Structure 1
Amino acid sequence: MLLYVLRRLASAVSVVVATMFAGFGLFFLAPTDAAGAICGNNCSAERIAHIRASLGLDEPFLSQFGAYLTGVLVGRTYEAGGVVVECSAPCLGFSYQLNQPVTALIADALPVTVSIVAGAATVSLTVGVLTGAFAARRRGRVADRVAVAAALGLGSVPFFVVALISALYLAGTVLPRAEHIPISEDPLGWAAGLLAPWLTLGVVSAAAYTRHARAAMIESLGEDYIRTARAKGLSERRVVYRHGLRAAITPVATLFGMDVAFQLTGALFTEAIFGLPGLGVLTLRAFAVFDLPVLMGAVLVGATILVVMNLVVDIAYTVLDPRVRLT
């Protein structure tokens, strides 16, 4: 088990480094003046020269990437407007347009995105799996057909349409107004302010879980060990939810790992529609003004989250399904 975790951890680190290398190459080897793009409009030639010298843009690509990687690991010093700025590790760059380290900008925005994604993922997994199990137990009945039809219909509607309807007609009326309050200040206010985004993003994502959980439950309930459990006199509830659901949730866990990517993408629209200052809004603003360091930092953080989630799902297999043996 330990050897497997170490191998997966090494693979995860290599993926993050490869993403960093590819992203750095795409952003800083583009056919544009990187220093001018980073500085923004109405920027003097002297300031552009300072940025070029501070980032080492006149050096070979590998030297530039090495300096960036060193900054991520141990920190780096930048010069902004004649002022030396110390960026402590992990340093993801410096936004010359906002005059702030990228790490500080992401640190302010990331809790909002993580709160949205974590809450929405909990809603989608809980609602989807329970609905799928409910439909599987009533296979072929009216309840099963209604659940499948609702999942198909909801899954076919573009997410941003559901988000717009929720923001216009539900948030502030049926549901509390969407806002982000730090959980350390007011846990109840934090949950109430994110309830509308959680339900919007979570219910849309639950449609896929419903279909997969239903199919997995139908297959699981037809296995020999389920018939044996029933023959021993176990209650139907215990047979279904303790034995059948545990085996059926393993393929759903794979979907959950991949679904984080959709949740992060959906969070971008969620933040923009509900007016929440998260990582998605920060990335959109950086893209609008071509703030390369912020874009690079956001891509790196997003890739790291996806890699970590897939690592957690792989390790969780041993808990969900004892038949999986890792060496």
Structure 2
Amino acid sequence: MLRFLVRRVLLGVLVLFLVVTLVFALFYLYPSDVARTLAGRQATPETIALIQARLGLDQPIYVQYGRFLWGLLHGNLGYDYYHQVPVTTIIAAALPKTLSIALGASVIWLVLGVLNGVVSAVRPRSVADRTLTVFSLFFYSLPTFVLGLTLLYFLYFKLTLAGVTFFPPGGYVNLADDPGTWFRSLILPWLTLALVQAALYTRLTRGSLIDVLGEDYIRTARSKGLGEQRITYRHGLRSALTPIVTQFGIDLGVLVGGVVVTESVFGIDGLGFEAVRAINDQNSPVIIGVVIVAAAAVVVANIVVDLLYAVLDPRVRLN
């Protein structure tokens, strides 16, 4: 198990190294004036000169690359010359907001998707199966911003006109400041993401579980007199969770990198919001920082997925 973990971690480090190298090449080799690109379009000549001195842009490219890697190893993601703050400060302020949305929504869609998928799989072509299929296709085909705006209209605007002020209009409240308002402010973003993603997980769970329930060892378990619930949940579902775990790791890693549409709809300035603002301002240091953090989130998520694979199916450790 330890060797399995070490191999996966080393592979993740290699992937992250390649991403960092590509990011460096895109922002430090391609521009004709790196200092002006990093400073942004509203930079003054003094700011550009300061960047050139700090980053040693007059030195050979391998020296610049070494300083870039050394800074990353020490947690230095660069400096936002547009707002005059370190990039880590911006990411540290935005990351908890994105994590709150991503983790809360992922729990909801995982529970809904797996439960609905199991119901559909144990009773294929039944009324429940067909109903869940229709709802899954409906929500999966619905754009995230349309669902978010619809929820805002009916659950905030209409309820507020009726005198019910349960849901706040948008924005983010820190958990430590007011847990109740924090929870209420995130219900609609959670539902916006969860309803769309749960549709996919319902179809994945249904298809995977139907395939597993047709295996020989399941028929053997039935012939030995095991109960149907024990067969489904203890033997069938564990094997059927493999593709769900894969999809969950990918989705969660991508969401941690930035929930752009949902954050924009609900006015939450998380990583996605900061990334869009940095692109509009041509604020390259923030873009670099967000890309590296997003890549790290995907790598970590995939390592966790590989570990869960080894728990669900011990044969994975031998591959």
TM-score by length of 2: 0.90
The answer for the alignment partner of 2:203 in structure 1 is: 211
1:259 is matched by which residue type in structure 2? D
Asked if 1:230 is matched to 2:222, the reply is yes
CA contact (8 A) 2:139 2:199 kept: yes
**Once the two structures are superposed, what CA deviation does each residue of 1:99-142 show, in whole Å capped at 9, x if it has no partner?**
10101110010011111111111111111111111011110112
Asked if 1:284 is matched to 2:276, the reply is yes
1:210, distance to aligned residue in structure 2 (A): 0.8
CA contact (8 A) 1:167 1:273 kept: no
For 1:224 and 1:68, how far apart are their aligned partners in 2?
Answer: 55
Runs of 5+ unmatched residues, structure 2: none
What is the 5 A alignment of 1:3-42?
3-42=3-42
What is the 5 A alignment of 1:289-300?
289-300=281-292
How large is the Cα RMSD of the aligned pairs? 2.1
* Structure 1 residue corresponding to 2:138, chosen from 153, 174, 182: 153
CA contact (8 A) 1:91 1:103 kept: yes
1:266, distance to aligned residue in structure 2 (A): 6.9
* Structure 2 residue corresponding to 1:140, chosen from 125, 131, 138: 125
1:123 is matched by which residue type in structure 2? I
* Structure 1 residue corresponding to 2:167, chosen from 176, 197, 210: 176
For 2:318 and 2:141, how far apart are their aligned partners in 1?
Answer: 38
Runs of 5+ unmatched residues, structure 1: 75-89
What is the 5 A alignment of 1:1-327?
1-74=1-74, 90-171=75-156, 173=159, 176-177=167-168, 178-264=170-256, 267-326=259-318
1:238, distance to aligned residue in structure 2 (A): 2.4
The answer for the alignment partner of 1:78 in structure 2 is: none
SS of the counterpart of 2:17? helix
Identity rate, percent: 45
Q: How many residues align?
A: 312
For 1:195 and 1:185, how far apart are their aligned partners in 2?
Answer: 17
CA contact (8 A) 1:216 1:248 kept: yes
**Once the two structures are superposed, what CA deviation does each residue of 1:118-177 show, in whole Å capped at 9, x if it has no partner?**
111111111111111101111011211121122122212222221222233324638622
1:190, distance to aligned residue in structure 2 (A): 2.5
For 2:304 and 2:318, how far apart are their aligned partners in 1?
Answer: 14
Instruction: Indicate the larger mover: 51-60 or 270-279.
Output: 51-60
**Once the two structures are superposed, what CA deviation does each residue of 1:154-204 show, in whole Å capped at 9, x if it has no partner?**
212222221222233324638622442333344443322211111110110
TM-score by length of 1: 0.88
Q: Indicate the structure with greater helix content.
A: 2
For 1:134 and 1:158, how far apart are their aligned partners in 2?
Answer: 26
SS of the counterpart of 2:259? helix
**Once the two structures are superposed, what CA deviation does each residue of 1:214-247 show, in whole Å capped at 9, x if it has no partner?**
0111112222332333344433222222222111
For 2:125 and 2:195, how far apart are their aligned partners in 1?
Answer: 24
Instruction: Indicate the larger mover: 164-173 or 285-294.
Output: 164-173
1:265, distance to aligned residue in structure 2 (A): 6.8
